[in-house]
Structure 1
């Protein structure tokens, strides 16, 4: 009787644990989907907002995967391409809401990534990223020269479009190893930039650090995405 009771207890605990994990994953996916929907709605609703400006930018990012709290790890940084569009929506003279839609790549170079062999491997994930940030603008510089020095901070959500694996001295290949629930990323963005007039429009330089908070799948440790990007943009 005691053995049967213990078996039933173990079965109930296993069922409860699986149910808890399923609910947790579904809740996380729902939150991410709502964020994407709200961010895209923000773009549509504010399309006719007056006194705003919009633009596009592209550049490079130094990326890696590292543990939570670490800015990077000891492995070499990977150089990746990044590009996107943005819109600045004024809240007051010194504060803007800054939604963006970006393509971003996150990579890490190291041994035993996915394959288990002792060879240098570059593993990369390609994301569609939606940051929504607050942008502080130094109004004194704007009044004096029309240029703009700004600081940005806010959350981002991202969805993995694909992942690739490139062995040392080999060619890269799509591996599609991420499960549906592993394709979501979220984190924090911190940045600064400079914007100056170019005719009736603006030339823009930005530097941004993205710190991922979601665990990256297919890694030998509890890694998150990290990226430091430098971009050149055009605003109008």
Structure 2
């Protein structure tokens, strides 16, 4: 048994340098259309914002890879009703996506995403209120989408993220969840 474990470990160590040489690193940026679940406000509408950051693609096989990312993502919502209200929730997000290449360049992707809240505020009729104390500091959810990677390293993606309840008000039963549609352009350097 010890020999089997030793041979397995040695085999993996021999394989790791090959994987490390194949890892692609890149950067991406794009458009967010972000909103909050209707429990927040029935008149809630999308907030147009942005995201940017770094990504890596770790090939597992010819058709399957893992893509971790580290992004700054500006999220929140606006109010379509009588109020002139904007909710700003800015996160550092860490999606880890499984990518399956359907055919050359085109992939479907999905996986978990963790968000760490940096800024939480509501601007209502020109007055800004900090809401970090009533919002959970982390948001965990699922992201899924489509991507297309060109041989030049240029890539494009569309993604939808649905988060968990971020409401941290003990007396409230409202479930407030981030919902974000993203369109991005990126570039893999190697």
The answer, yes or no, to whether TM exceeds 0.5 is yes
Which segment drifts farther, 177-186 or 74-83?
A: 177-186
Q: Which protein shows a greater Rg?
A: 1
Task: Give the TM-score taking structure 1 as reference length.
Answer: 0.64
Alpha-carbon distance in structure 1 between the residues aligned to 2:163 and 2:61: 30
Counterpart of 1:66 in structure 2 is 37
1:2-21 to structure 2, matched below 5 A, reads none
Unaligned runs of 5+ in 2: 1-15
Alpha-carbon distance in structure 2 between the residues aligned to 1:85 and 1:75: 30
Are 2:86 and 1:122 equivalent residues in the alignment? yes
More strand by share: 2
Q: 1:68-100: CA deviations, max 9, x gaps?
A: 9xxxx6532110111121101111111101111
Unaligned runs of 5+ in 1: 1-44, 113-117, 142-147
Give the match's secondary structure for 2:132: coil
Give the match's secondary structure for 2:45: coil
Task: Give the TM-score taking structure 2 as reference length.
Answer: 0.78
Alpha-carbon distance in structure 2 between the residues aligned to 1:54 and 1:74: 41
More helix by share: 1
Alpha-carbon distance in structure 2 between the residues aligned to 1:167 and 1:180: 16
Are 2:20 and 1:49 equivalent residues in the alignment? yes
Alpha-carbon distance in structure 2 between the residues aligned to 1:57 and 1:227: 16
Contact 2:70 2:92 (C-alpha < 8 Å) held by counterparts? yes
1:98-137 to structure 2, matched below 5 A, reads 98-110=67-79, 119-137=83-101
Query: Residue 205 and residue 195 in structure 1: after superposition, are their counterparts in 2 closer, same or farther (change >3 A)?
Result: same
